[in-house]
Amino acid sequence: MQLLLKTTAGLAICAATVWAQQPAPSLPDAPGRDTVQQVCSACHPATVVLGKGRTRDEWSQTVSSMISRGAKGTPADFATITDYLAKNIGPGYKSAPGSARHAGGLAAGPTDRQVVDESAASRGAVLYQGRCESCHGALARGGSGPDLVRSGVVLHDLYGKQLTPYLKTRHPAVPGLQGLTDDQIADLSHYLHKQVDDTLRSGPYTKVINVLTGNAEAGKAYFDGAGKCSSCHSASGDLAHIAERYDAPTLQQRMLFPRVPAPGRGRMKAEKPVMVKVTADGQTESGTLVRMDDFEVALRDEQGVFHAWKRTPTMQVTVDDPYKAHDDLLEEITDSDIHNLVAYLETMK
């Protein structure tokens, strides 16, 4: 495969063209498929997820990012979606013919974009460090020489096809570069395209670096005092060993946004449902909220029976949202309170 990629760049381009003519791709048939279809396709074709395999952590971040962009679903829906994506479109996932960028969405750039060969990129890295780094910088973002991540030559290159004539005839250090073989330039091409991929938003620079900058004692004081956290939670009760279940960035996210499934280690805990009580025509029903808009309210009672009402001015609707205190906290909490609280939560091992 390696050799094939290096020596048949032309063929690879043709293959991409052929893919584009194949029938539309579809999501792998597995549990959760319908939820992905329903929730994701509200904003974009659900098949965009076929563009690139990702780890559970990366998918979790993607889902989290979509929620902040307005994706609509229950916490259980988002947990299902993350699970589906992690299981079916993991790092080893091979894009289906005709899928990927043709379907668009998460992956920008041309459909026939270079597919980085990791071992070629590793060989290219050694070459880069020896021959290029002193001018173009450790991350190829430029130094005394130009930035190569944003280089037009690199971005238009496919498997060394454009890089080869450039390095052999136009690069300022031409005489010294003429000894590079086509294979070496292809390796360099893979290395440089890897730097581009890493810079795109699905690359490795999508991880929280460190949120443990606060003071745990101050966090405890806030927990027991102004934050009123202790009115619902306790370090020895529901939060015991919480820091073993979640890493620090996840603790921070779950504390602030408990409705959103956060990235990081550990499975999602069962979410607390929103409860609702409806009194209409002298009768009262209560149960878990199914939906509520300006016009209708619906719940599922303890027996699992669905009830719905047209909303009227005379009816009484009481919603008990277990996360309301967290929502209210967002309006008041300071950044240092947050960092102190996370430092305190991190002590709960």
Partner 1 sequence: MMIRAIGAILMGAALLSGQGLNPKKLGEPPTDTWPTYNGDYSGRRFSPLSDVNTKNVQALTLAWVYDTTSATGTLGGVIKSTPLMVNGVLYFSIPDYVFAVDARSGHEIWHFKWASKGGWHLGNRGVGMHGSTLYVETPDCNVVALNSNDGSELWHKSICDLNEYYTATAAPIVIGDHVIIGISGDDLDIPGYLESLDPVSGEVQWRWNTVPKPGEPGSETWPSADAMAHGGGMTWVPSTYDPELKLLYLGTGNPQPVIAGKARQGANLYTESIVALHIDDGKLAWYFQASPHDTHDWDAVETPVLFDGEINGSPRKLLAQASRNGYFFVLDRTTGKDMTTSQFVKTNWSKGVNDIGQPIPNPAKEPQVDGALVSPNQGGAANWPPPSFDPQTNLFYVNASHAFSEYYIFDNNSKPEGWGGNDRGGGGKSMLQAIDYRTGKIQWSHEWSTGGARSGVLTTAGGLVFTGDPSENFVALDAQSGSALWHANLGATVSNGPITYSLDGTQYVIAGAGPNLFGFVMLARQ
Q: By CB under 8 A, which span of 1-9, 84-92, 138-146, 299-307 interacts with partner 1?
A: 138-146
Q: Work out the number of other CB atoms within 10 angstroms of the CB of residue 136.
A: 22
Does residue 292 belong to the site contacting partner 1 (CB under 8 A)?
A: yes
Does residue 115 belong to the site contacting partner 1 (CB under 8 A)?
A: no
Q: By CB under 8 A, which span of 122-130, 182-190, 278-286, 325-333 interacts with partner 1?
A: 325-333
Binding mask 153-192 for partner 1 (x = CB under 8 A): --xx------------------------------------
Shorter beta-carbon distance to partner 1: residue 88 or 123: 88
Rounded to whole angstroms, how far apart are CA atoms 22 and 325? Answer: 52
Binder among 28, 90, 203, 322 for partner 1 (CB under 8 A): 203
Side-chain-facing half-sphere of 55: CA atoms under 13 Å: 10
Shorter beta-carbon distance to partner 1: residue 183 or 215: 215
- Cα→Cα distances 315→107, 122, 291, Å: 48, 68, 16
Binder among 89, 121, 149, 188 for partner 1 (CB under 8 A): 149
Query: Could you tell me the maximum CA-CA distance found in the chain, to the nearest angstrom?
Result: 92
How many residues contact partner 1, by CB under 8 A?
A: 75
Binder among 10, 109, 165, 176 for partner 1 (CB under 8 A): 109
Binding mask 212-231 for partner 1 (x = CB under 8 A): xxx-----------------
- Cα→Cα distances 206→57, 104, 239, 256, 319, Å: 10, 21, 28, 20, 37
Cβ atoms of 51 and 3 closer than 8 Å: no
Rounded to whole angstroms, how far apart are CA atoms 245 and 211? Answer: 16
